[in-house]
Amino acid sequence: MLWNLREASVCIESGRIDYAVFGVGTDPLVIIPGLSLRDVKGSGAGLALMYRLFARDYRVYVIDKNCDIAEGCTVPELADDTAAAMNALGISDACVLGVSLGGMIAAELAISYPQLVKKLVLAVTASRVNETMRSTVGRWIELAENGNYCGIVGDMLEVMYSRGYVKRYGWMFPLLARFAKPKNEKRFVRLARACLTCDFYDRLDGIKCDTLVLGGVDDKIVTANASVELAQKLGCELHMYDGLGHSAYEEAPDFDKRVKCFFDFR
């Protein structure tokens, strides 16, 4: 099995959470992905390939959101679910990487459950909602409510990726759009709405662990300023990827290496 890969789920009080786990190390690394049309379930091989750099030294858990998202769900509630899943899996004192919506969840996790987070990386994320987020995510919600998931894929292609990336790989997106419809349409919309409940800027002093913030200068979803103000408020290390936007975690060739160096440094 690829890097000792396994897909499974864990039951918590509020529902069920799917996860993928891989790697042969002993130190726990938790990755919380962002809003996506694809679930972690069924994506384990791709996730293990994407984050293969961590496989030798860490036991990597990619933890999805609750399968049963309630109407009006908030980012703090998503963090509560993640904490419950980690407790059920026996994970504590973990390195945690949160991307986009996953970064919002990871920050809330570090504030409310400090015993679970040893070191923290917040990538292309925000600590409070801004007008760019409201407009972009609102557009995805409207498209989803109209069943236009091909439209969401097209919009994500335009606002997430650099011109170079689109030039190289844009031909694949019409193919991906054919399979864009999520298994649970209501869940996607509710998670998108949860993004717009992000509001912990004034509570960032509750994060006591070492933290690294990574952002994209051309981020058209949460904006570059969201990463900058997050790092300034925390007083932590910041790296901004010039020429890249919200998909810096996919496009930057040194992204995983930079994260791993931060987590490895004792």
pLDDT (tens digit, 9 = 90+) per residue, 227-237? 999 999 999 99
Predicted confidence band at 93 (pLDDT cuts at 50, 70, 90)? very high
**CA 253 – CA 200 distance, rounded (Å):** 30
pLDDT for res 176: 63
Q: What is the band of 60 on the pLDDT scale with cuts at 50, 70, 90?
A: very high
Q: How many CB atoms lie within 10 A of CB 215?
A: 29
Question: pTM for the complete prediction?
Answer: 0.96
User: What CATH code is carried by the domain that includes residue 32?
Assistant: 3.40.50.1820
Residue 244 in contact with residue 217, Cβ under 8 Å? yes
What six digits make up the tokens of 208? 């006591």
Measured CA to CA, the distance from residue 45 to residue 25 in angstroms comes to: 18
Give the pLDDT of residue 177: 59
| Integer Cα distance of 266 and 74 in angstroms | 34
Give the pLDDT band (50/70/90) at residue 178.
Answer: low
Q: Check pLDDT > 90 for residue 110.
A: yes
Euclidean distance between CA atoms 106 and 216, whole angstroms: 18
Range of the domain at 197: 2-264
Tokens of 98: 């949160």
* CA–CA separation, 62 and 99 (whole Å): 11
pLDDT at 95: 98
- Digit-coded pLDDT (tens) for 216-265: 999 999 999 999 999 999 999 999 999 999 999 999 999 999 999 999 98
To the nearest 5 percent, what fractions of the chain are helix, strand and coil? 45, 20, 30
Mean pLDDT estimate for the chain: 94
Q: Among residues 30, 26, 25, 29, which one has the least CA distance to residue 56?
A: 25
Give the count of domains, the chain. 1
User: For residue 86, is pLDDT > 90?
Assistant: yes
Residues 88, 12 contacting (CB under 8 angstroms): yes
Asked if residue 1 has pLDDT above 60, the reply is no
Tokens 């662990």 identify what position?
209
Residue 183 neighbours by CB distance under 10 Å: 12
Residue 62 burial (C-beta neighbours within 10 Å; 0-12, 13-18, 19+): buried
Beta-sheet strands, E only, within the chain: 6-12, 15-22, 27-32, 58-66, 94-99, 117-123, 210-216, 237-241
**Per-position DSSP letters for 209-258, written without gaps between them:** SEEEEEEETT-SSS-HHHHHHHHHHHT-EEEEETT--TTHHHH-TTHHHH
The pLDDT, as a whole number, for residue 173 is: 65
> Above 60 in pLDDT, residue 38?
yes
